[in-house]
Homo-oligomer: A and B are copies of this chain.
């Protein structure tokens, strides 16, 4: 995931510490190709929203490490959370034990909306690496929102966007074959990073194949095969060590791959 300075093999996470200068999230790395217009705009918007929250309400900064829970199903709902750094997964657990990753959240995204309706969370929010969230007392947020409409607007926008994104995930899962889901997943992941000012041509998967598969509704073997095929097609490249680091030369090519999966016309590039 990250804009690691490629040389620093030891700790490649850009989310090293909260409060660091990377709140601005400059694009690092050896090949600092310019950020796309649209991405730069989004990056500024995200920063602006974070600033709005920070100056409107008293937030409590909470640092979480790998597998740390922001909240868990069953907990009483009192706070919403905004992600400052890190990546988080939202996991629901059914009564019979099925587990499902229902969302992946990045800097600027909110966590905890599920708790509003019943005053109780119905899923877990779990850190996928070291990260920082800002805890916002819901009551305080509403109070501040009354005086400052922009704050309420940001809240509503975040909830609306979450609804829209969840629907897009559902669409992918329902209409795409397995390999296309993997490609679409990488495309979305790269897109999310790009809009946060991070480089997208070199990303480190913080998710296991099993987690990706769970999120996409396929098995881990299918994810592995999908990634191998994408690599064979030249759409992605694995770094030398380990198979967690992925280079995506051309993100747009992933979209084309998804389309090719949908149209039965055989393409020579497709194995």
Using CB atoms and an 8 Å cutoff, list the residues of chain A in contact with chain B. 90, 92, 94, 96, 98, 100, 102-103, 113-117, 122-123, 142, 146, 149, 152, 156-164, 166-171, 173-175, 214, 216-217, 259, 262
Contact = CB atoms under 8 A, between A and B. Distances in A.
Contacts of A92: 167-168, 171
A170 B100 contact: yes
A5 B259 CA distance: 41
A171 B117 contact: no
B175 A98 contact: yes
A92 B94 CA distance: 27
Contact of A163 (B113, B156, B175): B113
Nearest to A161: B117
Contact of A116 (B115, B123, B156, B214): B156
Contacts of A96: 259, 262
Nearest to A146: B146
Contacts of A159: 113, 116, 156, 159-160, 163
B217 A160 contact: no
Given A163-B159, A262-B96, A171 B113 contact: no
Contacts of A158: 117
Given A114-B160, A114-B164, A156-B116, A173 B175 contact: no
Contacts of A94: 171, 175
Given A114-B163, A116-B157, A262-B96, A170 B171 contact: no
Contacts of A168: 92
B166 A170 contact: yes
Given A142-B152, A170-B102, A217-B174, A157 B262 contact: no
Contact of A166 (B152, B157, B161, B166): B166
